[in-house]
A and B are shown apart, each in its own frame.
Chain A
């Protein structure tokens, strides 16, 4: 745990909703949002610029598929913590994302509490 230096968080989502909700979460104390990307391609670019420690990743996005993006990011930084956000019905995608190296899974729709728990669980490893 690193209480002094907040972890750099990159949000990959094509809507702003999750960003606003993360900013409301208690876990935000431990995080500093360094940027958000609307699709996988942007995410890779932003990753290179900001070198985040934590990523939240929506799996259903245009341009580059979220799983592919997870794979790319993990290949670049294996210790990166990735929380995938996906629809409940889409467990196959979630399994695939975890297999490819994601560290947490949050199914949509989610409550603020679920988001908080998922982030807390994810950051345990930090």
Chain B
């Protein structure tokens, strides 16, 4: 503001000085010129009067001389000419003095004007005029005399002739007049002369005064000029200083600062950090669009443009505009040559008004990358801490042996998946096979995790399955599609490792505690206490019978977990699972987990529904394993649930293009049911964690096939579903 004011003042001063100079010239030079002219005139008149002042006496003397010479017959031409000259001079003088200024000649005008102002002067001139007129009358005959005044004769000698006599007569008369009027003329002229002298003295003193005034004026003007020059320079310095300070601020400020004009261009004045923030050398003249375009996606740019448009519209209030700023935290990516660098910038917009009108937008830019990263890390670590707590809580209620068994199984499965991912594959079919195998492994981990109530593992496995599913649905598969899977695998692997770590630490915690009861229980299964599940005191929805072997424990737990999640009541009855040969344990566990899960999710109905259908509210899932000697082993999983709807199987088969509707109508129930074992077949619309990807049946079929066994399913709609699996007596080599 101050700089601004000074600026306008220093801009005004030269004009002011110019005007002062012109005025000064007019005020001093014009009267000075006139005074000098008048003085000049007065001096000239004075000189003239002084020269002619004694002219009357000269004429008088000349008259006496004429008279005397006539008496002595002397030569009269000389005094006569003096008289004539005197008459002419005095005539001239009077013409000059009395002339009307308007009609007089150049010199006369000036002289007359110089003195005419004075009354006394005019009176003196009049006196001269009167006296001279009288005097002159007497002089006229003398001045007019021509010829010789003498007559030279032998007889009389030299005598005055008639003209001479007349001349002598006139001369005598004139002498009398001269005696009377001469002194009057002389005295009056002396007065005129002194008048003129006084006049010119006055004029010259005026002129001196004027000169003095001019000098003072000139000095004042000079001082003024110097003052303005100095002041102007000081203002310029102040201005330069202010500019320098602004520059310094702009150079050092960490924020990016710039002005946007109504055309969207960035102003020449902007902070130095702009170059650093936007990694470009020149900013000025660049439009805001050009600045952003290479850094943000098209959609963000478009939003930014619209936002700026809103900023320029006066209709929208500043607070409102601020609240919708889409560039408050914007992700920008720079092409550094060595790859993309991602940063976060915060843009803040302020309206700049000048004379009440929106003139510019002041934009400040901050690099908030660190803040954003920290916030994200914080959120991540919070999530991690939460998941650790969840995991801990999950782990705490699991039988350590089951947990260890799960961990070692899943570790093996993870290693297998890793190996599969590494295994080179070129053909599409090989990729597909890899995907299917990985899917089965992960699915099995998910199943067991669910059975153990390890929600965090289950969620991750489910996410992994989602990624796998996405890859499966691709038309063309390539090696690149497996990259995201590696990330998911790593996530799951890390998580499992952290659980392992947790378990180990918990084990250390338990050391020294009264003999590890769980371990003992595992060693002596028959003595294991029946675990009470469900809310304290409330009737337990699931009753456990002979839940002594790990598989039974897993299944019971699975039943409990899924039952609780889905509000179903179920009793899981196992039989003979302790007799499963070691080579089959893992497979039997995977198969039964899958089958029991399917039974719980799809088979067993909600308690009220069951009651309405005349069934017991508590559903039942029976799992039995028995040896049939040389014929191998028989594993049966049977539930008393809703059974499988053949209609829905038909519909699903047609919808998936596996069968035409004619074929579907023709197929017998057995053939229809065999469709369930096909890869990716499900009658369920939405996949959830527990079941429904259509993988379940397929997993069972696959596992059984690997064991060289057979699988069959029979169902009674609304009554039961029974899976019967027959395994060979000898454990197949590829499993062992």
Secondary structure type dominating chain A contacts: helix
B residues less than 8 Å from A91 (CB atoms): 303, 324-326, 328
A residues less than 8 Å from B73 (CB atoms): none
Residues of B282-341 whose CB lies within 8 A of A? 299-300, 302-303, 306-307, 309-310, 313, 316-317, 319-321, 323-326, 328
Cα-based distance from A98 to B324 in the complex (angstroms): 9
Cα-based distance from A81 to B110 in the complex (angstroms): 89
Secondary structure type dominating chain B contacts: helix
Question: Which residue of chain A is the closest to B325 with respect to CB atoms?
Answer: A91
Q: Are A98 and B303 in contact (CB under 8 A)?
A: no
A47 at the interface (CB under 8 A from B): no
Q: How far is the CB of B375 from chain A (nearest CB, A)?
A: 15
B residues less than 8 Å from A96 (CB atoms): 303, 306
Q: How far is the CB of B728 from chain A (nearest CB, A)?
A: 58
A residues less than 8 Å from B302 (CB atoms): 92
A75 at the interface (CB under 8 A from B): no
Q: Are A99 and B309 in contact (CB under 8 A)?
A: yes
Q: Are B316 and A98 in contact (CB under 8 A)?
A: yes
B residues less than 8 Å from A99 (CB atoms): 306, 309-310, 313
In the complex, number of A-B residue pairs with CB atoms less than 8 Å apart: 39
Q: How far is the CB of B339 from chain A (nearest CB, A)?
A: 28
Between B302, B316, B319, the greatest number of chain A beta carbons within 10 A of the residue's beta carbon is seen for B316
A residues less than 8 Å from B320 (CB atoms): 98, 103-105, 121
Q: Are A95 and B319 in contact (CB under 8 A)?
A: no
Q: How far is the CB of A121 from chain B (nearest CB, A)?
A: 7
Q: Are B323 and A105 in contact (CB under 8 A)?
A: yes
Cα-based distance from A19 to B328 in the complex (angstroms): 30
Cα-based distance from A121 to B322 in the complex (angstroms): 14
Q: How far is the CB of A115 from chain B (nearest CB, A)?
A: 14
Cα-based distance from A13 to B319 in the complex (angstroms): 24
Interface string of A83-115 (1 = CB under 8 A from B): 000000001101110110001110100000000
Q: How far is the CB of B314 from chain A (nearest CB, A)?
A: 13
A residues less than 8 Å from B317 (CB atoms): 121
A residues less than 8 Å from B325 (CB atoms): 91
Residues of A12-56 whose CB lies within 8 A of B? none
B residues less than 8 Å from A105 (CB atoms): 320, 323-324
Question: Which residue of chain B is the closest to A94 with respect to CB atoms?
Answer: B324
Q: How far is the CB of B296 from chain A (nearest CB, A)?
A: 12
Q: Are A95 and B316 in contact (CB under 8 A)?
A: no
Chain B: residues with CB nearer than 8 A to chain A?
299-300, 302-303, 306-307, 309-310, 313, 316-317, 319-321, 323-326, 328
Chain A: residues with CB nearer than 8 A to chain B?
91-92, 94-96, 98-99, 103-105, 107, 121
- Report 22 cross-chain contacts, Cβ distance below 8 Å, ordered by A residue: A91-B303, A91-B324, A91-B326, A91-B328, A92-B299, A92-B303, A92-B306, A94-B326, A95-B303, A95-B306, A95-B307, A95-B324, A95-B326, A96-B306, A98-B310, A98-B320, A99-B306, A99-B310, A99-B313, A104-B320, A121-B317, A121-B319
